[in-house]
Structures are given as C-alpha cells and as structure tokens.
C-alpha cells in the first residue's frame, strides 16, 4: 500500500521483500501492464487509486489490500485505462462504487462491473502515447525540482546549521530563531486550505490547494513552512514551503501541522531546510507522545529543539544562495502542474475526436 499511494507507476522502486506463496504462486505475481487499485483508504481520494505496473528486473507480489486488474490485450491498452482512471472522468466513475464506513473502499466485484468507454485499441494506444509524452515532460520537471531542492538542502548541511555544537558555538532553543505556530487572525470567508494529502514527501511545494470556510487548524502565510506532527507523516518527512497564497492572504491547514516562521535575519527557506534535516526529524520523532499509531509531536518540544546561533553574515550568505533555487523550484513545479492539468483535459478531447492524437504537439 505504501508504494500504491506514493507512485503512479510501479517499476523498480525499493520495496519490502516477502516470500512467494507456495500454493498457486503465479496468482500473486505481477506482470507488465497490470493495473492495481487500492481496495481501501482512510480517505475518499485514496480509495480505488490506480497504478500501472511497468517492467521490472525483479518479480513482484501485491498485497491483499490491492486489487489486480489484468486487461484483455486484444481489446484494451492498459496505459490508456491507467490514464483514464487518473483523469477526473475516470475518478468520478470510481467514486460511484466507493463505500464509506470506517474507511473508504471498493469491492473487486463492483470494479469488474464498472462500465467504461472503450475506443478502438489503435486509438487507445495513440492516446496513451500522447499522454505518455506529456508524462515524460512532467517527469523531467520533477527531476529538476528534486535537484533544486537537493542543492538547497546540501547548502544547509554545508553551512552546518543543524550540526551538533562541537566547536564551542552557542546553542539556543529553536524558538529564539523561529516562531513556532505564530499567531494569525482568522481569515474571513473562503480561505486557501492545505490538507495533509497535498503535502508531498519529496518536494518543497504543496499540491492542489482547496477553498473552504475558514475554521480551526493551522494558519500560515507565504514564506512559512508547515510540517507534519503526526505519525507516520512526520517520519516520512512531510513538510512544505508555502508560496501559493495571494499577497497578504492567510491560509488554513490541517490541525496536524506545526507552522515554522524564521525570524530576521534568517530567510524563509531556512525553516523548510531545517524541517527536512535528518537530525531535526530524529529529535522530533523521539519526542512524540500518544497512543501507538497516533503519536504526535508537540509545538513546545519543537520550540525547545537545541540549535546553534546563526550569525547575520551566515544568514545573508544562505539567503543569496538558496532563495534563487526556491524561485526556480516554484517556476518548475508550476509548469509541471500546468502540464498535469493539460494532460487531464486532453483525455476527454482525444476520446471525443475533438483533438486528433497526431495533431497534438508536446
């Protein structure tokens, strides 16, 4: 399930090893072109999530919380149906069979009976090729985004901002360098809302931002960093640099966020790099409390985190190096978001014939 929710395509990602069942082992082995659907999820958005199984050098099994679908290759191109179920139209179809009790889930029998559009196989392949080319562009943007973030984190480590204080440098509680959950007035009317699902584990920026009536929870502005305080989100490194709000706008978020805002002269990106640092995360995880499976870090423990004082010249140098990286990262990820939106809009147009696959340039 971890890979199912983390990736859209299952290939050679690192995975846990499991023994191959002795009875009917072929029943559990995946093949290229299989589709996997999440049988259940804690959220509606996760139930029925579809992933595509790509070629792999190693045999792969799937766990019982997943539904494997193996399409008839004479009638269906699995790449096409993967894109279909990722699109708003396909997602709407899946949600017609989701049952919501303690968790959201789908039944294999309901999935098997779901009626879906079936263009001719050749048309399916042409559509999948167009959308696949767009995915290649998106993947390139994501790799560039990851490299930009890696450069920023490397500079944070190089400056030894989060190193153990072994050189006689003064150590202070984090609250002297960063405001933790700074007070903000409640926004009026509809406000930009960031939930935990919108915060990735491998990117500095949040995904889709919804609009909802302002209520309780975290409050933040552009330049703030939000970090998860609940397991397993904290262990997985969920943190995001907020730069998606309008000027002066106050956003709201999950009650499971802790908001970090650096004090002058530290630049805004400094708090994000801290939240992603291994030593800080290890400290925060060690100080979690609560029942098993629902442990949380407290804002007071985060505020007490010991860290060395940062000189003004160090802060200015870090700002000069990292701020352009974050601006480039914002531009790259905004372009990737536009490509994703275009990809999703293209699918129904390609299926309707309003756009011909051969006429699309990517």
Span 87-110, pLDDT tens digits: 888 999 999 999 988 788 999 999
Phi and psi (nearest 5°) for 148? -65, -45
Whole-angstrom Cα distance, residue 121 to residue 127? Answer: 10
Our CA dihedral for 210, 300, 205, 285, rounded to 10 degrees, sits at -110
The whole-number pLDDT of residue 176 equals: 94
Cis peptide before 54 (omega within 30 of 0): no
Span 250-291, pLDDT tens digits: 999 988 999 999 999 999 999 999 999 999 999 999 999 987
- Contact at 8 Å (CB) between 257 and 198? no
Our CA dihedral for 30, 35, 39, 44, rounded to 10 degrees, sits at 150
Strands (E), the chain: 9-10, 35-38, 40-41, 50-53, 66-69, 99-100, 104-105, 171-173, 178-180, 190-194, 210-213, 218-220, 225-228, 239-241, 251-253, 257-262, 306-308
Cα separation values, 202 from 2, 28, 240, 309, Å: 14, 30, 10, 28
Q: What is the pTM of this model?
A: 0.75
Closest by CA position to 241, among listed 218, 265, 220, 264: 220
Whole-angstrom Cα distance, residue 362 to residue 131? Answer: 9
The whole-number pLDDT of residue 196 equals: 87
Angle of helix 121-158 relative to helix 312-352, nearest 10 degrees, comes to 180
Cα separation values, 80 from 83, 119, 349, Å: 5, 10, 14
Whole-angstrom Cα distance, residue 285 to residue 276? Answer: 13
The whole-number pLDDT of residue 99 equals: 92
How many separate helices (H) and strands (E) can be counted in the chain? 9, 17
Domains of the chain: 2-118 (3.90.220), 149-314 (3.90.220.20)
Whole-angstrom Cα distance, residue 183 to residue 355? Answer: 50
The whole-number pLDDT of residue 247 equals: 87
Span 48-77, pLDDT tens digits: 999 999 998 889 999 989 999 999 999 999
The whole-number pLDDT of residue 207 equals: 72
Tell me the pLDDT of the chain (362 aa) as tens digits: 888 988 899 998 888 888 888 888 888 899 999 999 999 988 888 899 999 999 988 899 999 899 999 999 999 999 999 999 988 889 999 999 999 887 889 999 999 999 988 888 998 998 899 899 999 999 899 899 999 999 999 999 998 888 765 566 678 999 999 999 998 787 878 888 988 888 887 778 887 788 888 777 889 999 999 999 998 888 888 899 999 888 888 999 988 999 999 999 999 999 999 999 999 999 999 999 987 667 899 999 999 999 988 899 999 999 999 999 999 999 998 898 888 888 888 887 877 666 555 444 33
The whole-number pLDDT of residue 359 equals: 42
- Contact at 8 Å (CB) between 336 and 141? yes
Q: 154-183 in b/e burial notation, b at 16+ Cβ within 10 A?
A: ebbeebebbeeeeeeeeeeebeebbbbbee
């Amino acid at each position: 399930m971890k890979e199912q929710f983390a990736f859209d395509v299952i290939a050679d990602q690192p995975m846990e090893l499991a023994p191959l069942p002795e009875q009917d082992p072929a029943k559990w082995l995946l093949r290229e072109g299989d589709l996997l659907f999440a049988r259940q999820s804690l959220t509606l958005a996760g139930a029925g999530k579809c992933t595509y199984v790509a070629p792999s050098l190693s045999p792969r099994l799937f766990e019982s919380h997943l539904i494997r679908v193996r399409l008839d290759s004479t009638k269906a191109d699995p790449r096409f149906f993967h894109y279909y179920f990722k699109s708003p139209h396909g997602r709407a179809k899946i949600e017609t069979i989701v049952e919501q009790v303690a968790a959201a889930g789908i039944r294999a029998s309901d999935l098997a009976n779901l009626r879906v559009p079936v263009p001719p196989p050749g048309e399916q392949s042409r559509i999948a090729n167009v959308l696949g080319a767009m995915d290649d562009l998106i993947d390139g943007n994501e790799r560039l985004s990851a490299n930009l973030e890696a450069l920023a984190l490397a500079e944070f480590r190089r400056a030894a901002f989060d190193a153990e204080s072994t050189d006689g440098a003064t150590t202070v509680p984090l609250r002297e360098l960063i405001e933790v959950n700074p007070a903000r007035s409640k926004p009026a009317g509809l406000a930009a809302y960031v939930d935990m699902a919108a915060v990735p584990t491998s990117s500095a920026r949040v995904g889709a931002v919804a609009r909802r009536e302002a209520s309780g929870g975290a409050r933040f502005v552009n330049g703030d960093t939000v970090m998860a305080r609940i397991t397993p989100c904290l262990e997985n490194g969920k943190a995001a640099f907020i730069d998606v709000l309008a000027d002066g706008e106050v956003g709201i978020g999950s009650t499971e966020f802790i908001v970090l805002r650096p004090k002058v002269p530290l630049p805004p990106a400094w708090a994000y790099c801290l939240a992603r640092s291994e030593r800080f995360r290890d400290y925060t995880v060690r100080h979690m409390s609560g029942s098993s499976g629902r442990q949380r870090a407290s804002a007071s423990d985060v505020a007490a985190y010991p860290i060395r004082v940062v000189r003004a010249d160090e802060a200015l140098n870090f700002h000069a190096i990292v701020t352009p990286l974050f601006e480039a990262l914002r531009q790259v990820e905004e372009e990737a978001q536009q490509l994703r939106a275009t990809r999703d809009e293209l699918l129904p147009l390609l299926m309707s014939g309003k756009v011909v696959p051969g006429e699309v340039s990517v």
